[in-house]
Structure formats: structure tokens, C-alpha cells
Structure 1
Amino acid sequence: MNEVQDLRWAPHVTVATVVVRDGRLLLVEEAIDGRAVLNQPAGHLEPGESLAAAAVRETLEESGWTVRLTAFIGTYQWTAPDGTPFLRFAYAAEPISHDPARPLDTGILRALWLDPAELQAEPSRLRSPLVWEVVADFLAGQRHPLSIVKEVA
């Protein structure tokens, strides 16, 4: 790869949040290309926003849940079938409160709670392989202190 190609590579930076309540995972069902797929509350980092703030914001916008981040799970690199590169930063969080009247982001059909076995049983419904990879790492106990992600001013 030459230097010019390197400068044009711009992965989509996304965040995702694993929220667990009573052994069940908070997921969102969203409409993508005419299919209802499952994902963690997740989305793109916005300019000037920290990764942690993006994770909290996306969880609220997509599910109506206010959460408190408890740990950093990991960073995941994936290239979609169409060639789009993604870098996903995944956090663990605990639910604080829910606003059932809050409108959800465009394309989100609903928020739901599934146990891990229910999620694993539906691999064809996952928005991407990142969904299960993040959950599997969370279930295996992978947790890092939030301070591992440094925001430099």
C-alpha cells in the first residue's frame, strides 16, 4: 500500500454498550436493508465527543435507557462485506433508568432484553459478527478499567 492510500483509509469509529439486567442483555432491533437485525445499543462517534460519552448517548438514543459505564470491554476491528472498515469500542454498563416515552432513533424498531443463549441462537439476525464477539468477551469476564481509554485534551 502506498502512502496516498494510507491517508485515505478512514474507518467508521463506533461505540457499543453491553448492558445487563437480571442476566439479560439489552439489545436493539433495527431495520437494515429490509431486515430486522439485533445489535447492542451502538453508533458512531460524533466530532468533539469522547468514546465514553458516545456510548452513554447512543444507549439512551437507541433504547431509552440511561446507563452508567462500569468497564471497558475492548476494541474490535472489522471490515463489512461491502468493504467498509469499522473500529468498535465496547463498554459494559449498568442500567439506571428507563424513559419508555422517549422516541428511539430512526430505524430502531424496539429495545428488548434477551438472555445470552437467545442471542447466540440467532446468528443470522445479528447486525454484524461484532455483536456476538463483544458479548462473548463480556461473558468471559473481559473487563478493563474505564481509565484505559484516555481522552487527551
Structure 2
Amino acid sequence: MRFLPHVTVATIVEDRGRFLMVEEVSNNRVVFNQPAGHLEADESLIQAAHRETLEETAWTVEITGLTGVYLFRGENGVTYQRTCFIAQPVAHQPHLQLDDGIVGAHWLTLEEVAALGEQLRSPMVLECLTDYLNKPRYPLDLIR
């Protein structure tokens, strides 16, 4: 059987020490995540990051860099390959309707995110933020 990981993107958006987080319903529970989702046909990873951020938060952003590429096996047995981007907020468009399942978007400090514990959608949420704060950031031209 051929191994087919799910290709996903996530975006870390920081503004004055707060991070744009998505509160959403997943598997009948409320969880928190970065704006994130699956790559769609005929779009680039960067386009997917823009789209997912807008659809889940109503924020347009400028993608400025890359935190890393992560592999994670979920409780459902599915392996996800997450490309985590870095972005700056550009404009909030509160008139936009958020995706189904999205409860809301919130600006949280690192301490507030860490305190969510089991409410984080996966361990990758805090891992990506920690890497963003403590490890090198990579230029977008790394992606071909």
C-alpha cells in the first residue's frame, strides 16, 4: 500500500506579542490551532496559507517566511505534512463569514496558548510557536 500523507499548511501570525489563533470544533470538541488547512488542487503552499488564514480568521496577511516542515501522525492514524509559514497581519475583514466549524479567531499570548494544554488541536500547535520563537526562520524562496 502506498503511503500518502495529507499536505497541510499553517500560518503563525504575530502582532505585538500576540498570536492569531483559531477556535474551532473538531471531532465534537472545541480546540485551538493556528490558521491551518489542507492544500487544494492547483494552488501553491503559499496560496493555501493565504486562503486558509482568510477563511478561518477574516484576516489578510503578508506571508514573510517559513518556520519549518513537520510530520505528525494524528490520533486518527493519518499522517500530516505541515508547512508552517510566518505572516504579518495586513487587514481585518470582519464582514467575511468564517469557515464552517470555526467558533472564532483570537489574539493570544504564548502563555495563553500554552495554558490551553489539551485544548490544542495537536502538539504541533505549540511546537510551531516554540520553533518560531527559538529557531531560525527560513526565506520563502526555500519553496520551489
Question: Structure 1 length as normaliser, TM-score?
Answer: 0.92
Per-residue displacement from partner, 1:48-75 (whole Å, max 9, x unpaired)? 1100110011000000000001111100
Question: How far has the Cα of 1:141 moved from its partner?
Answer: 4.0
| Number of matched pairs | 144
Q: Residue 128 of structure 2 aligns with which residue?
A: 134
Q: In angstroms, what is the RMSD of aligned CA positions?
A: 0.8
Q: 2:116 aligns with which of 114, 122, 127?
A: 122
- The structure that has the greater radius of gyration is 1
In 1, Cα distance between equivalents of 2:6 and 2:117: 23
Instruction: Spell out the pairing of 1:28-47 with structure 2 (5 A cutoff).
Output: 28-47=22-41
Kindly state the Cα deviation for residue 34 of structure 1 after the two structures are TM-superposed.
Answer: 2.1
* Counterpart for residue 92 of structure 2: 98
Query: TM-score, with normalisation over the residues of structure 2?
Result: 0.97
Write the distance in 1 (CA, Å) between the matches of 2:24 and 2:53: 13
Partner residue, 2:59 = 65
Where structure 1 has 5 or more consecutive residues not aligned to the other structure, the ranges are none
2:138 maps to 1:144: yes
1:88-119 per-position Cα deviation (integer Å, ceiling 9, x unaligned): 00000000000111000010000000000110
Does 1:113 find its partner at 2:83? Answer: no
Query: In structure 1, what is the equivalent of residue 81 of structure 2?
Result: 87
Unaligned runs of 5+ in 2: none
